[in-house]
Amino acid sequence: MESTLKDMAVGETGTVAGYTKGVSVYREKLLAMGLTRGTEILVERIAPMGDPVEIRMRGFSLSLRKDEASALLVERSKS
């Protein structure tokens, strides 16, 4: 099931499926951070107000703002 990173819960895993339309500013920034299609991610923490979201990918942790997380399309893993 494809959704945005912002919609995922702590402990969920998934794979980067792409980016939402009209977010070229965030797209280039996220690609530069290594969030390319096919990258596996794990949602580690979400702040109380939902901003930022901490994910684990490629052996390191990365914190993303709510707007950045909503720009990232993720294919959720079936657990």
Domains of the chain, start order: 2-76 (2.30.30.90)
The pLDDT confidence band at residue 14, using thresholds 50, 70 and 90, is very high
**pLDDT tops 90 at residue 49:** no
User: pTM, whole model, 2 decimals?
Assistant: 0.84
The pLDDT confidence band at residue 50, using thresholds 50, 70 and 90, is confident
Q: Distance of alpha carbon 75 from its chain centroid, rounded?
A: 10
The pLDDT confidence band at residue 57, using thresholds 50, 70 and 90, is very high
Q: Choose among 58, 57, 65, 59: nearest CA to 25.
A: 65
pLDDT of residue 1: 63
Pairing outcome for strands 72-76 and 60-64: unpaired
pLDDT of residue 79: 61
